[in-house]
Amino acid sequence: MLTRRIIPCLDVRDGQVVKGVKFQNLVNEGDPVELGARYSDEGADELVFLDISATLEARKNVVDLVTRVAREVFIPFTIGGGLRTVDDLEAVLMAGADKTAINTAALVRPELITEGAHQFGSQCIVLAVDVTRQGDGWQVYSHGGTKPTGREATSWIGEAVDRGAGEILLTSMDADGTQAGVDLEITRQVSELVSVPVIASGGIGRLEHFADALTAGKADAVLAASVFHRSIISIKDVKNYLAGQGIPVRPLGD
């Protein structure tokens, strides 16, 4: 049976892993390749590296990061952050990334999804979506969660999947950094809407939150950052807990 995936997320700024609360107050938490390899050894099913470097100069180093990660870890990994063109996608894919996460660039020019999926396959194109609750719905934000787009989450995600997005990385900004659990309502709505896998993100603080996202939220995978970086929860804890709840996970050591 297909197992549910547990994915540590490493936000990388200027070559260092950082984590903030609600996209603010970033704190350094270590070397991305070292951390990535450690998570892989501990049983992470995939890794996501999001580059949030402010300058173009620092972004160029992402390709080096990808090359180093690809030599160290033998599980799939995704690169996101600042990828704007098909050439940007190609550069990180050719350096060894398995998937690319695109967010703002896809909102600005949705054809990027179509072109990327056509050239590299849908499995390489992860659409990252940052949403916040607004009235009865959820609005999509761009630019690292700073700009409202006026787009409704399910409409945008539906369009993106039609264009060839192979996976959805859904982050509830309201929940992000709160450690109060993912927003189950929008996670479930999106999971039921699309035929591609959905990765739930934002707000994971306790073991139960992983299970909730996968059962009530119907997500295929859960992404978390600070609980892992700060050793509040280990990947082993998560796998053991989920297995105990009857949720299929890849056992440790396989």
Residues that bind other proteins (CB under 8 A): 1-5, 40, 45, 70-71, 74-76, 93-98, 120-124, 166-167, 195-197, 220-221, 250-251, 253-254
For the CB of residue 77, give the shortest distance to other proteins in the complex, in Å: 9
Q: Between 118 and 133, name the residue whose CB sits nearer to other proteins.
A: 118
77 — phi, psi (to 5°)?
A: -140, 150
Catalytic residues: 11, 130
Burial class (CB in 10 A: 0-12, 13-18, 19+), 194: buried
10 — phi, psi (to 5°)?
A: -115, 110
In this structure, are residues 182 and 204 in contact, taking their beta carbons and an 8 Å threshold?
yes
Q: Between 3 and 149, name the residue whose CB sits nearer to other proteins.
A: 3
Query: Looking at residue 3, what DSSP letter applies?
Result: P
Single out the residue of 150, 143, 147 nearest to residue 128, CA to CA.
143
For the CB of residue 116, give the shortest distance to other proteins in the complex, in Å: 12
Burial class (CB in 10 A: 0-12, 13-18, 19+), 57: exposed
Q: Between 85 and 146, name the residue whose CB sits nearer to other proteins.
A: 85
- d(C-alpha 97, C-alpha 79), whole Å: 6
Q: Between 173 and 224, name the residue whose CB sits nearer to other proteins.
A: 224
Element at 118 (helix H, strand E): helix 111-120
